[in-house]
Amino acid sequence: MSGVSRIKEFNLPDLGEGLTEGEILAWLVKEGDTIELNQPIVEVETAKAAVEIPAKWAGQVRSIFHPEGSTVEVGTPIIAIDTDPGAGPVEASTTGAPAADLPTPSAASLAAVEIAPEEGMVEPGLIGGVAPGGRTAVLVGYGPRNAPAKRRPRKGASPERPAATPAASVPPAPAPAPVPAAAPVTAAAAVAAATTVNGNGRPGGLVLAKPPVRKLAKDLGVDLGSLSGSGPLGSITREDVQRAASGTATAAEPPTVAAPATSAAAFGADREQRIPVKGVRRLTAENMSRSAFTAPHVTEFLTVDVTRTMKALDRLRGRREWRDVRVSPLLLVAKAVLLAVRRHPMVNSTWAGDEIVVKEYVNLGIAAATERGLIVPNIKDAGRLTLRELADALTDLVQTAKAGRTSPADMSGGTLTITNVGVFGVDTGTPILPPGESAILAFGAVREMPWVHKGKVRPRQVTTLGLSFDHRIIDGELGSKFLRDIGDFLADPEAALLAWT
């Protein structure tokens, strides 16, 4: 087997729904490792989930092309695998003649060869060429320019003469006349000149003032250097200039050197954090922006006494067949939503431009906050599940999301969503619709509150529901009836089950 056919390059696959790129979170193998077919080799984060990708071939890892943390486009090679490592070293490429068969050039021919500069290179002495120390000679504020460098003539010197051409000889220029030596400057005078300060206490005549303030001072004929600024860091404000113009300016205070401990706090990039927007966060931002500015949202609220729901959960937990099952208020909220959809099927639909698609199945989405961001996996065909099956599905969904193992398929095809903001101690919210869905329910925290029950004020377990819906599909009457049915179920789940099923 040839070396070319032995070495297989594995490209990053499309992990679902037309994803274009993924971030390499972790390599599960390293160069030189022996791997088996379908062995997980890399963990990749797409815009929807973190996925372990298995090997397409067995063999030995020869090369890893992209490090952890890099973003790779779909179809790009990420790893090379030697599928027959026992066959010996990989054959070297035989393209072209062997180096040993090539004639050895003579010294004269090498000397006559003129090496052309590489593309983009410029000759030394040009702006953009190599300056002493290996730097590129670039003017401050400008990019490289392939033009001869010019020197600024010194004061008192004659203008620079044009450079001589190789064909003509130019007589040497006469030596310049000696310049009279300047009077020596004493060290004390130099220090005094360097430490000259203005009324603002800043050396060298520097003045802190914004451009509009400088213009105002120029229009009013006020010398900024004579003023003492009252703004931040001693900057001069409009009020300082106006007082000076009216003759009420305060005399400039003697310069003082501020102690470093009392200097104002700096606000700059060194105290900022920049977080790349990618993966789940980028997808969430794109989906929410598209939904918020496409579907006309309406949100309604309903406060419900859920005391009977909480008691029903306690009785359910006490049953022998439910003792190993995770039972939470979200379970009965999900059941309430599924039963309300049966009574109002238009809520479980999608706007498709020139038609409305009403779905006879409910892929119930549950918004989950994870370390990687907000994801919305869904329970497929949840309306067909029994209460026990629904509880098991919710438990599996939450545990998989927290472990970061939710697959793209589990987050695709949702038809209606619940977001449980109550776990954060929040009463309710105005949730944004996931794209392609027409309703989303926010379930708030359950709190003990005073409530009128049977004509008397009593402490009861109360929660607030928030329903956002697409007003193109769901009008106020339908949205209100759907929310009212969910509330009725939670107020008395046993009676609702008897009445509706």
The catalytic site residues sit at 471
Cα(34)–Cα(19) distance, rounded to whole angstroms?
30
Task: Confirm if 35 and 20 have CB atoms less than 8 A apart.
Answer: no
Instruction: Write down the number of H helices and E strands in the chain.
Output: 11, 19
DSSP 226: G
CB atoms within 10 A of CB 67: 8
Task: Confirm if 83 and 90 have CB atoms less than 8 A apart.
Answer: no
Task: Confirm if 348 and 469 have CB atoms less than 8 A apart.
Answer: no
Q: Considering just the CA atoms, what is the radius of gyration of the chain in Å?
A: 38
Q: What's the gap between Cα 79 and its chain centre? A: 27
Cα(396)–Cα(407) distance, rounded to whole angstroms?
13
Cα(217)–Cα(228) distance, rounded to whole angstroms?
13
Task: Confirm if 333 and 418 have CB atoms less than 8 A apart.
Answer: yes
- Residue ranges of alpha helices (H) inside 195-231 are 211-220
Cα(486)–Cα(363) distance, rounded to whole angstroms?
18
Cα(203)–Cα(194) distance, rounded to whole angstroms?
7
Spatial CB neighbours of 437, under 8 Å, sequence gap ≥ 6: 350, 365, 414, 415, 416, 417, 470
Q: Cα–Cα distances in Å, from 322 out to 38, 103, 155, 328, 339?
A: 38, 86, 96, 12, 22
Buried b (16+ CB within 10 A) or exposed e, 405-428: ebebebbeebbbbbbbbbeeeebb
Spatial CB neighbours of 68, under 8 Å, sequence gap ≥ 6: 24, 25, 26, 27
Quickly list DSSP for 253-310. PPP-PPPGGGSPPP-SGGG-------HHHHHHHHHHHHHHTTS-EEEEEEEEE-HHHH
Cα(58)–Cα(33) distance, rounded to whole angstroms?
11
* Angle formed by the axes of helices 493-500 and 307-318, nearest 10°: 90
